[in-house]
Structure 1
Amino acid sequence: MYMTREVPTGILGFPVTPFNDEGKVDEQAYRTIVNFLLDSRLEAIFVACGAGEYHSLNTKEYELLIDLTKSVVEDRVPIYTGVGGNIQEALQRAEISEQYGVDGYLIMPPYLIYGSQEGIYQYFSTIANHTPLKAIVYHRDNAIMNLDTVERLSEIPQVVGFKDGVGNMDTNIELTETIGKGLSWLNGMPMAEVTMPAYIPLGFTSYSSAISNYIPHISRKYYNALLKNDHQTIHEIYQDVILPINRIRRQGKGYAISLIKAGMEIVGLPVNSQNVRPPITPIKKEHYEELKKILTLALEKYPREAIEL
């Protein structure tokens, strides 16, 4: 049943959920978005996770997004879903994910409560054991785990990966040196391109990329440069793209999502950047114009057709 404990390596796609002006999921726009990610050769699709505004989706919408993703992907890349928050809802959505035959799910932190290490273990293990699907535990916010907890979780056959959204390198070194290939390691830091050079030597082989929703070819060029130790290219992309965008991202709460939608709208994808769900708000006009300027210059210097995906 558990053929491998590995998860996809490389750049992982986390599509947003586009909403129309009536606040409903825009199905055609979502199909276009997933096709764009597939055409960009991203290694997996993680549907209805943080970037997809999981926090605001009802169960019907959740099923719709999985169904749309399955119909577009057609087994070309692995599909993972997001589950978490309210544990009963998480278990229900794990069952839905199994019914749709996805490859696995990312278990996001529990709703609101800061539990003990035993409580965090019980939360992740209960969800992971609920189906035979692969499970990736998300280390962040109110689900920060110590070595003992991660080691216990790694003994569960379904738990195949650990996604770090904290950035404590002491902890990451301890985990990877102790557990090693017992898990796959994913960089889930906000705008992971910023920190990926520090993660690769530890054995982190993949990351969730916000900018791959709108400039995936530049993220690919950057990642290839990292693997080749091409420091000049890394430096240029840092200065031209990654750091300027990250400076905008830090300007507002919720920008981790709304900035993605703005970038997608700017490059011509069918996303209305104003259509986000509370508590997320659209980015400010001045930040939108700043992002537009960055992307215009970036696309001139790094045209999509000139970069091998």
Structure 2
Amino acid sequence: MNQVRQSPTGILGFPVAPMDQHGKLDEKALEANIQFLIKEGLSSIFIACGSGEFHALSHRDYKSMVEVAVATAKGKVPVYTGVGGNISHALELTELSAELGVDGYLILPPYLIEPEQEGLYQYLNAIIQSTDLNAIVYQRDNCVCSLETLQRLLESPQLVGLKDGLGNMDLNIEMTQTIGKRLEWLNGMPMAEVTMPAYVNLGFRTYSSAISNYIPHISALFFDALLSHNDDLLHELYEHVILPINKIRKQRKGYAVALIKAGMEIVGHPVGTTVRAPIIQVEKDHYDKLAQIIQVAFEKFPKAAKS
């Protein structure tokens, strides 16, 4: 029988990689992070990806994070891992992911090399073909597929989605209008709420939300307002929360990750603000401004009580 494959849709959850006071992975804080995302209605868990500081994880910490994610999710939502970088390392991680029982993986860009399309095809195809797990290609940086390369990759049923972090709308239109519903189209731009109105009209019904780690009710409110064409509410959310946070995020390189931990600490999640090199921590002035925005978010858009 042919396996029915489906990529996660809706708002995707990307946990962080908490550190304790000794610089070690804090598994209890990670478990709490994942439980929070699932409780708040995130559709899936993407563990050890960009927000999880994939770039700096040891093999042991990576394995521990995946084990915590699988044990915490308990099949309530699908779990995807981050794989990529060095091709040998990437293939080791796909095998480990399969052994640990995840649903699929997000393929991050190759290490250092800016490849020709044939080389990029070989890199992605080797990873996609290495297991029977679902695979999603992350289109960004030095991993930019042409339409023709992506069409070649579609021969593999394991490929279920493309996550765009590039923002080339000409290419997005060419791909979505040519390939259609064969793939799930995911918005993976930094602070994806900023660009989602442009993406949704192309068939993107899925996005990763950094702010969902600390104000997930804003993510949900935003997405509902977008899909229901509630322009007045969208304007209010942009003016008071989304654009002000995005303005801080753009102040320093690496804030796309560091600002998440800062926001989580502000609302009381036990993750701390320590990040792994070469990412830097959020500066105090930016931290204080984020705290003010979060306060406004809860005052102007109070979290509804769950039944």
TM-score range, shorter chain: over 0.9
**What is the Cα deviation at residue 4 of structure 1?**
2.9
How far, CA to CA, are the matches of 1:28 and 1:292 in structure 2? 24
Structure 2 residue aligned with 1:49: 49
CA RMSD of superposed structures (Å): 1.1
Alignment of 1:64-103 (within 5 A): 64-103=64-103
CA distance in structure 1 between the partners assigned to 2:5 and 2:204 by the alignment: 14
Cα distance in 1, alignment partners of residues 205 and 77 from structure 2:
17
Matches within 5 A, 1:163-202: 163-202=163-202
Residues 114-133 of structure 1: pairs in structure 2 closer than 5 A: 114-133=114-133
Q: How does 1:202-213 map to 2 (within 5 A)?
A: 202-213=202-213
* Other-structure match for 2:284: 285
How far off is 1:50 after superposition? Answer: 0.4
Deviations 1:252-279 (A, max 9, x none): 0100000000000000001111x11100
Deviation at 1:304, TM superposition (A): 1.7
Distance in 1 of aligned mates of 2:4 and 2:268: 38
2:298 is equivalent to residue 299 of structure 1: yes
Letter in 2 for 1:289: D
Give yes or no for contact 1:2–1:158 (8 Å, CA) kept in 2. Answer: no
Query: TM-score w.r.t. structure 1 length?
Result: 0.97
**d(CA) in 2 for partners of 1:102 and 1:174?**
31
**Offset, 1:59:** 1.0
Q: State the identity as a percent.
A: 56
For residues 164 and 6 of structure 1, the distance between their equivalents in structure 2, rounded to whole angstroms, comes to 18
Aligned partners of 1:189, 1:297: CA distance in 2, in Å?
24
Tell me which amino acid in the other structure corresponds to 2:288: E
Alpha-carbon distance between aligned partners in 2 of 1:156 and 1:150, rounded to the nearest angstrom: 11
Equivalent residue pairs, number: 307
The 1:2–1:96 alpha-carbon spacing in structure 2 relative to 1, beyond 3 Å, is farther
- What 5-or-longer segments of structure 1 have no aligned partner? none
Aligned to 1:260: 260
- Cα distance in structure 1, aligned partners of 2:248 and 2:264: 15
CA shift at 1:6, angstroms? 2.4
Structure 1 residue 145: Cα displacement: 1.1
CA distance in 2, matches of 1:234, 1:14: 23
Amino acid at match of 2:3: M
Structure 1 ranges of 4+ moved more than 4 A? none
- Provide the rounded CA distance (Å) in 2 between the counterparts of 1:11 and 1:230: 18
Q: Which residue identity is paired with 1:3? A: Q
2:241 corresponding residue in structure 1: 241
Q: 1:2 to 1:133 in 2, by over 3 A?
A: farther
Q: How much has 1:2 moved relative to structure 2?
A: 5.7
TM-score, structure 2 as length reference: 0.98
Instruction: For 2:237 and 2:215, locate their aligned partners in 1 and report how far apart those are by CA, in whole Å.
Output: 12
Q: Which amino acid aligns with 1:298?
A: A
CA deviations on 1:121-174 (whole Å, 9 max, x unpaired) are 111000000000000001000011111011111121111100100011110000
Give the AA of the match of 2:216: P
Shift of 1:88: 0.4
Distance between the aligned counterparts of 1:94 and 1:106, measured in 2?
A: 10
Hey, what does 2:35 align to over in structure 1?
A: 35
Look up the match of 2:225.
225
Give the conservation status (yes or no) of the 8 Å contact 1:5–1:183. no
Instruction: Give the residue type in structure 2 aligned to 1:288.
Output: Y
Question: Secondary structure at 2:205's aligned position in 1?
Answer: strand
**Paired amino acid for 2:40:** S
